[in-house]
Amino acid sequence: MPARKLTFIPGPIEFSDEVLQAMSTPSEAHTSPEFVAVFQEALKNTRKLFRSTDPSTQGIVISGSGTLGWDLAGANLLNKGERALVISTGFFSDSFANCLKVYAGADKVDVLKAKKFGAVVENSEIESALQKAKDDEKPYSVITITQTDTSSGVLSDVEAISAIVRRVSPDTLIVVDAVCATVCENLEFDKWGIDFTLTASQKAVGVPAGLSISFASGRAIEKALSKKEPVGFYTDLQRWIPIMRAYESGKGAYFATPSVQLVHAYRQSLREILVGPVTESFSKHKDASDHFKAKIAGLGLKFVPLTDDIAAHGLSVIYFPEGIEGPKFLSKVAGKGFTIASGIFKGYQDKYFRVGHMGISAIGSRKQELDQCFEAIKSSLEELGYKH
């Protein structure tokens, strides 16, 4: 049993000692030369995180949760009367749609849902929806893709979907929710033609919750900056883009006070992630995921994603075996020192559980903790009468 309870939910995750030490930085002025240098490094490395070298793009790191990224997209990339297409593979995709409806109106947001829980939306369906909208002279201004929907563990093929959008509806802005995918899954912002991606600090980025991290293309920024009637204040990129550009160029600027200690922690975590090419993190997370899923499969348990090729690498989403009561099982695992997550998708929330395997406890210096978590799961099932 670990010395303290370890967190193996799909975020927040466990953090390195160096990141936690960075969080204890003494008070510091947010426009001081010392902090400007820290923020500048973090923003420059954010480009490496999303694999962008295009000077027209810009990282946006502000105080908030991953959910704030939805609002940034809705407030800045949708004008009155414009339409959005949401590709839904679970609870978080649907929630993104609900957010966009606040900005565009419920009748302007179409949701293309996977036919089954645990499935992806077929590329042919996406192409047909885009083509029909274009033929009807009502093209979509925005399409959203949730790369990993944390409620289902389903991984969408952002590269393939982006290629379809660029071919069929090239003026449509491509928005990717990568909250549970960043650092775990491949994403090539420039090469794939993505316009806006959003993530958060507390998942595989490996920083305590509190930073909303986004990345915008030149044409997304152009649209945001040309908006004549902003619909938000804190979410207005007309205010934030100049601030981010200033910090990245080494100059202090002010609109709202940044989370100084979190930015210090973010810089430290990026240093750890980027000690080698970011692609190494993708492959390490895949290896950890394959290892853990093989052990779970060895117990005879079934996964929510219908096939292995659409299963995300930052978490495993697993059905309870017949006869096992979820609350009792989760409580037993917690009693052995590991916090794992219950299900959250409506109609299925009592039928499955989720285990996060991201960052230091999956691919870092404490990766043995993932095996310890598995042993806690295995022994808890056995104590509840499960035989395999």
Tens of pLDDT along 203-215? 999 999 999 999 9
Residues 262 and 290 in one domain: no
Contacts of 154 (CB under 8 A, 6+ apart): 89, 90, 114, 118, 119, 120, 148, 304, 305, 310, 311, 312
Q: Is the pLDDT of residue 2 over 90?
A: no
Distances (CA, A) of 383 to 293, 329, 335: 21, 9, 12
Domain range holding 366?
6-13+276-383
Q: Of 254, 273, 292, which residue sits at a domain end?
A: 273
- Three-state DSSP class for 272? helix
- Domain-located, residue 268: yes
- Domain-located, residue 73: yes
pLDDT band at 23 (very low <50, low <70, confident <90, very high): very high
Angle of helix 368-383 relative to helix 326-335, nearest 10 degrees? 130
Please indicate, yes or no, whether the overall pTM of this predicted structure exceeds 0.85: yes
- Domain-located, residue 76: yes
The closest of 1, 8, 99, 25 to 267, measured between CA atoms, is 25
**CA 199 – CA 128 distance, rounded (Å):** 28
Predicted local confidence at residue 251, as pLDDT: 98
Residues 269 and 286 in one domain: no
Q: Give me the chain's average pLDDT, please.
A: 98
Residues 305 and 265 in one domain: no
Residues 314 and 171 in one domain: no
Count the domains in the chain: 2
- Domain-located, residue 388: no
Residues 258 and 316 in one domain: no
- Is the separation of the CB atoms in 131 and 188 below 8 Å? no
* Residue percentage of the chain with pLDDT more than 70: 100
- Is the separation of the CB atoms in 176 and 145 below 8 Å? yes
Burial class of 167 by CB neighbour count within 10 A (0 to 12, 13 to 18, 19+): exposed
Residues 280 and 347 in one domain: yes
Binding site for substrate, residues?
354
Residues 214 and 139 in one domain: yes
Residue 317 sits in a domain whose CATH number is: 3.90.1150.10
Binding site, residues?
354
Mean pLDDT of 176-195: 99
Mean pLDDT of 65-74: 98
Residues 365 and 310 in one domain: yes
- Domain-located, residue 375: yes
Predicted local confidence at residue 80, as pLDDT: 86
* Cβ neighbours of 115 (radius 10 Å): 9
Residue 234 sits in a domain whose CATH number is: 3.40.640.10
Query: Helix H segments across the chain?
Result: 17-23, 33-50, 66-77, 91-104, 123-135, 158-168, 189-192, 218-225, 237-248, 260-273, 278-298, 326-335, 368-383
* Residue percentage of the chain with pLDDT more than 90: 97
- Domain-located, residue 51: yes
Place of tokens 């802005």: 173
- Is the separation of the CB atoms in 152 and 118 below 8 Å? yes
Q: Is the pLDDT of residue 290 over 90?
A: yes
Residues 234 and 307 in one domain: no
Predicted local confidence at residue 1, as pLDDT: 85
- Domain-located, residue 1: no
- Domain-located, residue 82: yes
Residues 164 and 311 in one domain: no
Within its chain, how far is the Cα of 93 from the centroid?
Answer: 11
Residues 149 and 91 in one domain: yes
pLDDT band at 264 (very low <50, low <70, confident <90, very high): very high
Q: Of 239, 254, 273, which residue sits at a domain end?
A: 273
Q: Of 241, 273, 305, which residue sits at a domain end?
A: 273
- Three-state DSSP class for 385? coil
Residues 32 and 96 in one domain: yes
